[in-house]
């Protein structure tokens, strides 16, 4: 063929992380068929959906099979019943987000990846290490990325004062709190520093709050809109995946305040246009399920699942505390991010855990350069497996 392709794809780092983990685990299992391997690398939930969510999905599916209640294409931006429920959720956090600024989606990943469609080739600021979608989607668009490093010293919560010198005017800044993979969560002061910086430099913050439901500590913001000025500089992208176990159901949302403008151009209007052109909405049963997750009963059931995972996280962090190993996360996150003992690289530590105690985690290197000597363990497994894993780890770290 003589067509041109997007040559920026050649600049995307090959994501061999999970395939490499898979092949090392397979090789080990083949050589040791009797070994019982515990997987603590997964970022996926494992508990089933709350009953109230399933019932709503079943009922909505039955409506779709009835002439009187059948529905065709959903509204591109989401049904009012779900946008209202999301708006009420923000209200419970003390923040007023009108339903008209909410766009329902099939998950946070799509919106995080697609948001570049409405933005030009701006300078981009991305923390390292972080969820790889921000880097890859901007690389696909040929954007210039400045990394800002998470380190032991800043608790993996870099601040604008740590940026390389330059005016950074008109930047697009990605923030993820609680962070994947580090589990670190910005305080009000930290987020205020970023919002003030964005307002001062005419920059846009894209705030990924996919894990906000894991925040347990009082006083930690659940949404960027708790910070004064954020409505003038921030888009928030969130998900039902981790909050309600929707990884296999697919639903999320994006807030773009109707007042958010780049010069005279409304970002809300651009996203509306983009979605109307390229997206045909989320299915009715899924939106009813999401609405049920936000009901009083749904929130309670989801909180029980989160408490289960958080108990697993606590088992892991108690061990690390006992061993004096530096880590972030766990408290307000399903992820525990630990410094590899004895100066190991993250892949060396991966091999050590697999070979010596048959535990699989995720090497930090897969989330950026700053993860080179760190390791992610997740709390998404079962309680029994986590207890067993902690017992095994105790002997070798």
Give the gyration radius of the chain's Cα atoms: 21
As a whole number of angstroms, the distance between CA 337 and CA 362 comes to 10
Burial track 152-180 (b if 16+ CB lie within 10 A, e otherwise): eebebbbebeebeeeebeebbbbbbbbbb
Q: Which is nearer to ligand PLP, 201 or 239 (CB)?
A: 239
Nearer to ligand PLP, 333 or 346 (CB): 333
**Nearest distance, CB of residue 177 and ligand PLP, angstroms:** 9
From the CB of 107, what's the least distance to ligand PLP, in Å? 3
Q: How far is the CB of 247 from ligand PLP (least distance, A)?
A: 5
CB atoms within 10 A of CB 113: 15
Q: How far is CA 50 from CA 163, 296, 299, in A?
A: 43, 12, 9
148 or 357: CB nearest ligand PLP: 148
Query: Residues touching ligand PLP: how many (CB under 6 A)?
Result: 13
Distance CA 282, CA 285 (A): 9
Q: What part of residues 237-296 is at the interface with ligand PLP (CB under 6 A)?
A: 239, 241, 247, 252
- Cβ atoms 277, 296 nearer than 8 A: no
* Bridging pattern class, strands 252-255 and 261-262: unpaired
Distance CA 291, CA 212 (A): 18
Among 39, 43, 74, 388, binds ligand PLP (CB under 6 A): 43
Site string for ligand PLP, 335-374 (x = CB under 6 A): ----------------------------------------
Question: Which of 210, 213, 230, 233 lies at the binding interface for ligand PLP (CB under 6 A)?
Answer: 210
Choose one: 101-109, 216-224, 306-314, 338-346; the region binding ligand PLP (CB under 6 A): 101-109
Kindly write down the DSSP assignment for every residue of 319-334, as one continuous string.
Answer: HHHHHT--EEESSSSS
Does residue 332 contact residue 214 with C-beta atoms inside 8 Å? yes
Shortest Cβ 29–ligand PLP spacing (Å): 25
Task: Tell me which stretch binds ligand PLP (CB under 6 A): 56-64, 104-112, 151-159, 256-264.
Answer: 104-112
Interface segment toward ligand PLP; rule CB under 6 A; list 103-111, 197-205, 221-229, 387-395? 103-111
Q: What is the pattern of x (binds ligand PLP, CB under 6 A) and - over residues 131-160? A: x-----------------------------
Question: Residue 121 Cβ, how far from ligand PLP at the closest point, in Å?
Answer: 23
Shorter beta-carbon distance to ligand PLP: residue 42 or 159: 42
Q: Which is nearer to ligand PLP, 16 or 70 (CB)?
A: 16
Query: Which structure tokens are listed for 279?
Result: 């997206």
Q: Compute φ and ψ for 339, nearest 5 degrees.
A: -75, 130
* Cα distance between the two ends of the chain: 55
Q: Alpha-carbon distance 220 to 214, whole Å?
A: 11
The CB-of-34 to ligand PLP minimum distance in angstroms stands at: 32
* Per-residue binding letters, 213-242, with ligand PLP (x by CB under 6 A): --------------------------x-x-
Q: What is the DSSP string of 56-117?
A: HHHHHHHHHTSTTT---SPPTT--HHHHHHHHHHHHHTT----GGGEEEES-HHHHHHHGGG
Q: Is the Cβ of residue 139 or residue 239 nearer to ligand PLP in the bound state? A: 239
Among 87, 143, 180, 287, binds ligand PLP (CB under 6 A): 180
Task: Single out the segment in contact with ligand PLP by CB under 6 A; choices: 46-54, 73-81, 107-115, 157-165.
Answer: 107-115
Chain centroid to CA 269: 25
Report if residue 208 touches ligand PLP, rule: CB under 6 A.
Answer: yes
Which tokens in the block code for residue 40? 């603590």
Extract the tokens encoding 58. 């079943």
Instruction: Pick the closest to residue 333 from 171, 177, 218, 225 (CA basis).
Output: 177
Where on the chain is the footprint of ligand PLP (CB under 6 A)? 43, 107-109, 131, 176, 180, 208, 210, 239, 241, 247, 252
């Amino acid at each position: 063929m003589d067509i041109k392709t997007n040559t920026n794809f050649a600049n995307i780092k090959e994501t061999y992380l999970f395939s490499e983990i898979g092949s090392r685990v397979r090789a080990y299992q083949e050589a040791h068929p009797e070994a019982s391997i515990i997987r603590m690398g997964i970022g996926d939930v494992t508990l089933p959906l709350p009953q109230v969510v399933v019932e709503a999905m079943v009922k909505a599916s039955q409506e779709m099979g009835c002439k009187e209640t059948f529905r065709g294409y959903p509204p591109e931006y989401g049904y009012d019943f779900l946008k209202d429920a999301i708006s009420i959720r923000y209200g419970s956090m003390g923040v007023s987000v009108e339903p008209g600024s909410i766009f329902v989606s099939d998950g946070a990943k799509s919106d995080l990846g697609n948001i570049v469609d409405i933005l030009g080739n701006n300078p981009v600021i991305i923390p390292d290490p972080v969820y790889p979608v921000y880097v890859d989607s901007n690389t696909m668009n040929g954007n210039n990325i400045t990394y800002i490093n998470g380190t032991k010293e800043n608790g993996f919560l870099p601040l604008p004062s740590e940026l390389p010198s330059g005016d950074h005017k008109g930047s697009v800044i990605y923030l993820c709190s609680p962070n994947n993979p580090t589990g670190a969560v910005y305080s009000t002061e930290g987020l205020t520093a970023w919002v003030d910086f964005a307002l001062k430099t005419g920059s846009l913050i894209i705030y990924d709050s996919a894990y906000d439901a894991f925040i347990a500590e009082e006083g930690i913001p659940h949404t960027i809109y708790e910070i004064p000025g954020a409505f003038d500089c921030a888009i928030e992208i969130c998900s039902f995946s981790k909050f309600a176990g929707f990884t296999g159901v697919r639903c999320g949302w994006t807030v773009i305040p109707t007042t958010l403008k780049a010069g005279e151009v409304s970002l809300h209007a651009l996203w509306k246009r983009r979605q109307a052109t390229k997206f045909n909405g989320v299915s009715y049963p899924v939106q009813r399920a999401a609405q049920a997750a936000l009901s009083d009963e749904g929130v309670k059931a989801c909180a029980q699942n989160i408490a289960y995972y958080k108990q697993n996280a606590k088992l892991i962090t108690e061990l690390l505390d006992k061993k004096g190993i530096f880590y972030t996360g766990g408290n307000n996150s399903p992820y525990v991010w630990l410094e590899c003992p004895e100066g190991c690289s993250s892949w060396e530590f991966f091999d050590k855990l697999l070979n010596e105690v048959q535990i699989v985690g995720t090497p930090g290197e897969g989330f950026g350069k700053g993860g080179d000597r760190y390791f992610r363990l997740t709390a998404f497994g079962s309680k029994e497996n986590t207890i067993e894993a902690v017992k095994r780890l105790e002997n070798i770290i």
